[in-house]
Amino acid sequence: MTGIDLLMEEHRALEAMLDALEAATKRVRDGENVPAGAIEEIFNFCKRFTDGCHHVNEEQILFPALAAHGLTPDMTPMTVLAAQHESGRAFLEDLQNAYARLVAGDDSVRKEVHVLAREYAGMLREHIAIEDHYFRSPAAQALTPAEDERLQTAILECARGGGPCGRRDFLDLATRHRNAVATW
């Protein structure tokens, strides 16, 4: 697998967790039970893996390399994608704050939790679709072996978010959530 392949593999895991987040918060909105700890696991994934590793590796390693290989010299697409990472962090924070209010006993935020989750998931799904497109571009195919190795190493170490976070564990967690939601 190339570094690009690894990032695309992570995209499929991210999508599984976004599906799980939407499904779980829909149950929250409707007053139905959600398996204990499921939403906390999804938040942890989004914060530590999506934000802490995946987005950081794109911003710090891949995007500059794509720009160097001609995906517009002014990096406009990369600037937009990086801004979406920032928006994702802000959405996630709002969502976690709303969910914390629910856990603290404020039943009035059930709908807000689901709306915020839907906005977060929708924005990131569009973001991922754009990236999948760019990741198949000629610029992405033009990465040198050294650039690809640097990208792969960072992805597999999964350590840029402040310490190793077990990439395989996060991918397995996404598979578990995908399977669990399929039974709901």
Chain residues binding Fe ion by CB under 5 A are 58, 131
Rank residues 22 and 58 by Cβ distance to Fe ion and give the closer one. Answer: 58
Shortest Å, Cβ 67 to Fe ion: 14
Rank residues 9 and 41 by Cβ distance to Fe ion and give the closer one. Answer: 9
Rank residues 27 and 85 by Cβ distance to Fe ion and give the closer one. Answer: 85
Shortest Å, Cβ 4 to Fe ion: 10
Q: Is 164 helix (H, G, I), strand (E, B) or coil?
A: coil
Shortest Å, Cβ 101 to Fe ion: 29
The rounded distance, in Å, linking the Cα atoms of 125 and 129 is 6
The rounded distance, in Å, linking the Cα atoms of 169 and 184 is 23
Shortest Å, Cβ 144 to Fe ion: 21
Rank residues 4 and 24 by Cβ distance to Fe ion and give the closer one. Answer: 4
The rounded distance, in Å, linking the Cα atoms of 20 and 170 is 14
Q: What is the largest CA-CA distance in the chain?
A: 54
Burial of residue 171 (CB within 10 Å: 0-12, 13-18, 19+) is middle
Rank residues 80 and 182 by Cβ distance to Fe ion and give the closer one. Answer: 80
Burial of residue 113 (CB within 10 Å: 0-12, 13-18, 19+) is buried
Shortest Å, Cβ 83 to Fe ion: 10
Q: How many residues does the chain have?
A: 184
